[in-house]
Each structure stands twice: as structure tokens, then as C-alpha cells.
Amino acid sequence: MTAGLAGRDAALDAASRLVAGLPPAPAVWCSGLRKRYGKRQAVADVSLEVGRGEVVGLLGPNGAGKTSVIKMLLGLVHPDAGEVMLLGQPAADPAARARVGYLPELFRYQPWLSATEVLALHVRLSGTDVTPAQRRDVLALVGLGDRAGDRVGGFSKGMQQRLGLAVALVARPELVVLDEPTSALDPLGRADVRDIVLDLKARGVAVLLNSHLIGEVERVCDRVVILDRGRVAASGTLAELLGQRELKLQLTGVSAAARERLAATGPVEREGDWFTVALAADEDTAVPALVADLVALGAQVHAVEPARITLEERLLGILRSASEARSDTEGSSR
């Protein structure tokens, strides 16, 4: 009997050592999510993953299902089908949700409370130990340091959004989900959010964010998932979605040797003084090395510009080709 128990303990020990050695489970994992509202299929089939410390952008037109997916991930809407794991635990588990910060799309905080009181309330709800100094730091981080004692009812919409961000961040989450964090923010506020997201990523916090400001998504996200009519229309890293990086150079005095050096980098196109060369890989050293070599080979370098199709162009391309494919099948089925 004792020997049996000892054997079981040893096996449990070995199992927990094995599990401890595994990489941590993704911050978000979902598979086959579906949701119907009446006759409308809001989410038809969505599977996605957000790794630890990864920043993933959820993009798509109005009504594509982004907010519905986010709400199902957070257990706020019950999916008709599909599975969700948050930080390695089923999304329904309150322990997993306690480590998630969330900025909802449409929110109203109690207008009679001050910003400090709203934060204190959310800290209490999260059950996390957050000191008053840490709360003040979060308000300062989102630019509300000097409005901490003011009633939320008197806040502008941008200030309310900043407070929402503070609420999402205050309990030191391991995953932050932001549903349109910058829709009401001024350009400085948007830059602040960008810095905050990059800082979260540097600290290993995963971020899933949804925004119609594609340029911002492009600046902060490692990966993008594009939703269209409740389905994943495309997904991948920015490099995968946007293809190769190109470099545009304005050059004069290009010797044969300099031309060879350009061609060694990648396929070259020329229009007058402008040379466009495809870069083989996203190597940090490729551009300075190329410019240094061209100068050494006697070329005069007037301009060097990175060039790549923007995420916005790519997104529009994906959505338009999906809509053309739909009208083709509708046309042929008539």
C-alpha cells in the first residue's frame, strides 16, 4: 500500500517535471468558433492563436465578427460551437480570466466615480494585489495622472478610452485584449498606446487587438488575422502577408560593378535614376551593407527608401477578391 502510494507520488513528480519543462501554453487558442444571432451567422468558423508575448491584430470590415470573437474568447458570449483556451486553461475558468486585461469596444464606467475609484473597483474585482502607487502609475501611463480625482461622467470620450486602457492594464495581466483601443484618441494618445503595447510585448505580455486604424496595427503587430463575414480570410506574419521588402534607391554614377552589386542583392528594376531592388530577407544589416558597397564602388546615393505594399492595400485586396469571388458564384448559380 505504502509502496503503491510512493510509486504514484514518483509518477506525479515525474509528470509535473515533464510539464514544467514544456513551453508555456499559448495566451489564446481557439478552434472552430461559431455564433449565430437569429438568422445571422456572426461567426462562421474561426480558429486562431496568440503566443505568449506576441501582438496579434484582428482586422476586418464592420460586422465581420471581430467583437463577437473577442467576447467568445473572454467567455462573455457563449459560442454555439468551438473551444477556447486562455493561458493554458479553459476560458470558463475564472482563474484564467483573472490574468486577462480587457478593454471593451463600447463601455461606460459609473459616471459618479472618479478615475481612481473606477480603478480601485476593478482591482478589487480582479482579486489582485495592486498598491495605490501602482494604480497612480497606471493612470499616469495612460495620461490621466492629473485627472485621477475627477468624476468619470465629466470625461471626454478619449479620456474614457484612456481610463478603459488603465482598467485593462492595472492588474498586471499576462494577456491584454483591446477592442478598438484608439478609436477616440488624438494622435498623441495613439502614439502612447503604441508605446504601451510595445512595452507589454517587451515584458512578455500577449496582446490581441482590433482596430480599423490599419497603420497602427502594422506598426505594432507581429501577426494579423483578417476576418470577413465571420471567417478567417487570411492570416500570417506581416512579412508573410506583405511579401518581400523592397528598397528604392536614387543613384547616379552607377558603374558596372555597382550594378552587379545591386543584382547580387535581388532582382532589380530601373526607372531613370531610381533602382528598385527586392531584399532577400528581413536582415537588419542588408541595407547599410548595400549602401556602403555602392558608395565604395563610386555610386552617388541620393535617396534610400524602404518600399513595401502597405497592410491597408493588402487588406483591401483580400476583401475585394473575396467579394468578387462571392458575386461570381452568385452570378453562376442564377
Ligand X SMILES: Nc1ncnc2c1ncn2[C@@H]1O[C@H](COP(=O)(O)OP(=O)(O)OP(=O)(O)O)[C@@H](O)[C@H]1O
Q: Report the interface residues with Mg ion, using CB under 5 A.
A: 66-67, 105
H-state helical runs in the chain: 2-21, 66-73, 94-97, 115-126, 132-141, 157-169, 187-202, 214-220, 238-242, 256-265, 286-296, 311-332
Q: By C-beta, is 116 or 211 nearer to Mg ion?
A: 211
Find the shortest distance in angstroms from Cβ 235 to Mg ion: 18
- Buried b / exposed e over 46-73, threshold 16 CB at 10 Å, is bebbbbbbbbbbbbbeeebbbbbbbbbb
Residue 62 binds what, of Mg ion, ligand X, none (CB under 5 to 8 Å, by partner type)? ligand X
Window 10-49: contact mask with ligand X (x via CB under 6 A): ---------------------------x--x-x-------
Please give the DSSP secondary-structure letter assigned to residue 243.
-
Find the shortest distance in angstroms from Cβ 66 to Mg ion: 5
68 binds ligand X (CB under 6 A): yes
Q: What is the largest CA-CA distance in the chain?
A: 88
- The x, y and z cell numbers of residue 249, run together, are 534607391
Find the shortest distance in angstroms from Cβ 73 to Mg ion: 13
Q: How far apart are the first and last CA of the chain?
A: 75
Q: By C-beta, is 182 or 265 nearer to Mg ion?
A: 182
List 31, 49, 53, 63, residue binding ligand X (CB under 6 A): 63
Q: By C-beta, is 212 or 219 nearer to ligand X?
A: 212
Q: How many CB atoms lie within 10 A of CB 326?
A: 12
Find the shortest distance in angstroms from Cβ 177 to ligand X: 13
- Of the ranges 13-21, 64-72, 236-244, 324-332, which one interacts with ligand X (CB under 6 A)? 64-72
- The x, y and z cell numbers of residue 108, run together, are 461606460
| Sites of contact with ligand X (CB under 6 A) | 37, 40, 42, 60, 62-68, 105
